[in-house]
Chain A
Amino acid sequence: MAPAEIRQVIIGILSKIAPDEDLSSLDDTKPFREQMELDSMDFLDIVMELRKAYRIQIPEEDYFHLGTMQSTVEYLTPLLKDA
């Protein structure tokens, strides 16, 4: 899966777990939490949705990679290269 496709996957997950948010102007370099109301349970939702959709396990020590869209896509690119 290409980075652009991965970004769309994340947008899809965010729109599911934060349905009241406007994601059209999301800044990929800024932390999600500065742009949206997301708490720890929401981040676990991101991890869970990726696990369900692609059977990837993200260890807790790697959660910090999910801070921004850019870092999330960079982290997931090798994991989803064959997806």
Chain B
Amino acid sequence: MTSGIGQLDRVVITGVGLTSPNGDTLAEFRGNLLAGKSGVVPFETRYMGEVLAGVCRYNALKYQTRKDLRRGTRAGSISVYCANEAIVDSGIDWPNVHKDRVGVYLGITEHGNVETENEVYEISKFDYDASVWTHHHNPRTVANNPAGEVTINMGITGPHLTIGAACAAGNAGFIQAVQMLRLHEVDLAIAGGVSESIHTFGIFASFQSQGALARHEDPAKASRPFDLARNGIVVAEGGGICTLERLSDALARNAKIYGEIVGYAMNSDATDFVLPNAERQEQCIRLALRRAGLEPDDIDIVSSHATATEQGDIEETKALRRVFGDCPGVAINNTKSFIGHAMGAAGALELLGNIPSFEDDMVHATINLDNLDPACAMDQLVINHPRGKTGIRCLLNNSFGMLGINSVLIVKKYQE
């Protein structure tokens, strides 16, 4: 073993389930990333009218009944869909899996806002009579709801956690799973990140009040990381969930292996509620590299977090320049430019959209980059058009969030 994880079990990705604003399977998502196809559309939201959002169109009835959907949450529905898709994709003999040895670890930015807002709106029709407040409120809004819905739907009796980690959450779900697999707490992890955030007006209104809500006459051009004409975030929903297994288990069942998680790191800025911190981001990236036993120029693709806010893009650029400034072979791209910011799902989707590069030798671009902000200029940016690159072996995925939470994940093409 050449990685820096010592005697720890190697952990691999063996199944993928996702829904994104521009694709409900990995193949469709990847195809649209390479084709430059956006998933951002006009979207009606309560009190604010039309905003722009990344909206998913997966078949929610594929794994749930209409009653399930009525009782549960959108985040739960997205989670159930993606988790089932991942299990199917993994090829694992699911009926014979010991369900008490399966863990569900889903990152999320926030949960409960959608359901609470809906209920406040509902009782407003009754002059705020609290006696018509739904009895479904508590089970819908407990923080473990999305992961818990997966366990109910799939009969999983092992542990489940929904991990609140702002917009660093997608990576955080994977990291939790890696740790639990290495501790042998579980034998199979269903992990990733999800978001239902577009269904609350509050997230749009808050970004608008912050001067950070994107707008553009062409929805497809609204999400513009690193571009001088950027004007904020496009909020998106989505989910990206994988099956993770110890390598030994994956090999024993001759599983398809998408990649190996060879490094990760999380840290905290300890500086500000909303403003990012390049120094801490750099430290987080370097820690992940050190744990992976890799040097910066071992990385082939950096999947940037950039959200199309001025300060966020510039701070991340500073961190990337410090780590990768002398690495001309690194390609830097951005998925939010296609689908917007999928919040808790962002880190997961942004990783998964890049995974096929191990096989197709392509790096998808960051689109809508018409006038590169000089403060974000990096020679390695893949601008507007995908780039061919042979021998892609290592992806580094950045995800950063409010309250100064940073997460970095490194996935390597599987090699014995």
Contact = CB atoms under 8 A, between A and B. Distances in A.
Interface of A: 17-20, 37, 41, 44-45, 48, 51-52, 57
Contact of A48 (B65, B70, B71, B135): B135
A51 B66 contact: no
Contacts of A57: 131
Interface of B: 65-67, 70-71, 126, 131-132, 134-136
Given A41-B135, A41-B136, A44-B135, A52 B126 contact: yes
8 contacts: A17-B67, A19-B66, A20-B66, A41-B135, A41-B136, A45-B135, A51-B132, A57-B131
Given A18-B67, A45-B135, A57-B131, 20 more contacts: A17-B67, A17-B70, A19-B65, A19-B66, A19-B67, A19-B70, A20-B65, A20-B66, A20-B67, A37-B67, A41-B71, A41-B135, A41-B136, A48-B132, A48-B134, A48-B135, A51-B131, A51-B132, A52-B126, A52-B132
A68 to B, nearest CB: 20
Nearest to B125: A52
A62 B145 CA distance: 31
Contacts of B131: 51, 57
A78 to B, nearest CB: 21
Contacts of B67: 17-20, 37
Majority SS at the chain A contact face: helix
Nearest to A47: B135
B399 to A, nearest CB: 36
Nearest to A19: B66
A43 to B, nearest CB: 10
A45 B139 CA distance: 14
A18 B68 CA distance: 9
A41 B126 CA distance: 21
Contacts of A48: 132, 134-135
A51 B134 CA distance: 11
Contacts of B136: 41
Contacts of B70: 17, 19
B27 to A, nearest CB: 31
Contacts of A19: 65-67, 70
- 7 closest pairs, A vs B, by CB? A19-B66, A20-B65, A44-B135, A20-B66, A52-B132, A20-B67, A18-B67
A50 B321 CA distance: 62
A68 B358 CA distance: 60
A34 B28 CA distance: 44
Contacts of B134: 48
A51 B65 CA distance: 26
A44 B138 CA distance: 14
Nearest to A21: B67
Contacts of B126: 52
B90 to A, nearest CB: 28
B412 to A, nearest CB: 45
Contacts of B132: 48, 51-52
A54 to B, nearest CB: 12
Best-surrounded residue of B65, B67, B136 (most CB of chain A within 10 A): B67
Contacts of A51: 131-132
A19 B69 CA distance: 10
Contacts of A52: 126, 132
Nearest to A57: B131
